[in-house]
Structure 1
Amino acid sequence: MKDSHVADDVTRAAVDLFARQGYANTSVQQIVEAAGVTKGAMYHYFESKDDLLFGIYEKLLSLQKAHLDQIIARGGSVDDVLRAVCVDVLETSIDHMQEGAVFFRSLNMLSAPRQQEVTRRRRGYHDEFAELISRGQSEGLYRTDIPVAMLVAHFFSDVHYLSHWYSPEGPENKTLVAEQLTDLFLSSLRRTDAAH
């Protein structure tokens, strides 16, 4: 069973090294040494350093997309669904903050096809997120004076900025932070003339 841990060990070592010294400054040799595996073992799971970087983000994207689909499938009012989605994105982003920080710093170093794949996957997520806002608008809950794309960008800018200020050792836990940022976002979405 030990083999299945190789990919996780390599990924953890890569995230740590990429975070500390940058993607470009990290060699495959450093990664395998930190992971305690051979290059051959690493290449069994990852074709290249590019593959490893893509895998780091792909895992987070897949997790968040699976959660999004589950939350939407549960149903409920659009406000409750959007709230649950926002809290989940923030909590999972906090749980994987190092991966997210590495990724946003290193995205431009991915091969062009991989960059396009990430963009496609993120757009898919953002489109479903935007659809929830549009639903709220059509139900008269959310403001329509600002384009949906800008409202989506407004929320995700908070998500992407987390790694610059949030500390797990800080006074507020991830759920409280996620709920507070979600409340701020939903307050900014609501029509001021809508009945609460």
Structure 2
Amino acid sequence: MTAAGTEPLTRRRAPRGSARRNIVAAATELFARRGYEATSVQEIVAAAAVTKGALYHWFGSKSELLTSIYRELLAEQTARLREIADGPGPVGERLRAAAADVVEHTAAHVDELTVWARSAHLIDGEHADATRRERRRYHDLFRDLVLEGQRAGAVRTDVSATVITHTFLSALGNTHTWFHPDGPLTFTEVGHQLVALFVGGLRPPEESSSPTPAGTAGDRSRSTA
């Protein structure tokens, strides 16, 4: 029993509807600050102000929590890319829009995506396999847009569409290894400079001797990202 008008001396728990959101936010912050391996489930539930039961209601394990954070963002990226790829307008404009969109989405979720980039090698099994399949679908969708540009004559054909796709997405995905938030450019500004390099590099050479349609042979295999 507690006296009227007083609070029991227990931690206030998060409202039911916000529990999952709080778990994801707490895990992201702790993984970024302490590292995935050094962060315990108990530390996550304490920071999120939930019980272990609440965490395991939403996520079967710490590894599932990490992969779920990334897979949800990847699903958002894929849906956005599909909408752009299937939309109206010349393919060159859609490619620029797709590149700019992934930059904007990455910048909006840079902490979560950086945590995944640093920790993905620690995850194996079913969750890792599912994540790779979903990432491959994203790469294939982006590559197919590049292939469309090659067939339309808007994108150079002397470079494989797979090489083009991996070069841009890998450059963006590895920005966290050298980017400093106290530097002269924001993450978004760096990303848009990558877009400028990407779009500029897509243009067909002014003089080309018998260009090989690289998208017909080297790009039949699926992405291995």
Fold in common (TM above 0.5): yes
- Tell me which of the two structures has the higher relative contact order, counting C-alpha pairs closer than 8 angstroms and 6 or more residues apart: 1
For residues 59-83 of structure 1, give each alpha carbon's deviation from its aligned partner in whole angstroms, at most 9, with x where no partner exists.
1101101111222232211111111
TM-score normalised to the size of structure 1? 0.91
For residues 13-59 of structure 1, give each alpha carbon's deviation from its aligned partner in whole angstroms, at most 9, with x where no partner exists.
11111111111111100101111111111112111101101111011
* One-letter identity of the residue aligned with 1:15: T
Q: How does 1:115-194 map to 2 (within 5 A)?
A: 115-167=128-180, 171-173=184-186, 175-193=188-206
Give the drift of 1:140. Answer: 1.5
- Matched residues in 2 for 1:171 and 1:6: separation? 37
TM-score normalised to the size of structure 2? 0.80
- Matched residues in 2 for 1:168 and 1:5: separation? 30
Consecutive aligned runs of 4 or more in structure 1 exceeding 6 Å deviation: none
* One-letter identity of the residue aligned with 1:137: Q
* One-letter identity of the residue aligned with 1:192: P
Assess if the C-alpha contact under 8 Å between 2:26 and 2:48 holds in 1. Answer: yes
Please list every run of 5 or more consecutive structure 2 residues that lacks an aligned counterpart in the other structure: 1-13, 208-225
1:9 paired residue number: 22
2:57 paired residue number: 44
Instruction: Report SS of the residue matched to 2:86.
Output: helix
1:108 paired residue number: 121
Indicate the structure (1 or 2) with the bigger Cα radius of gyration: 2
Residue in structure 2 matching 1:35, options 44, 48, 51: 48
Q: Name the structure with the higher helix share.
A: 1
Instruction: Report SS of the residue matched to 1:74.
Output: coil
Please list every run of 5 or more consecutive structure 1 residues that lacks an aligned counterpart in the other structure: none
Name the count of aligned residue pairs. 194
1:55 paired residue number: 68
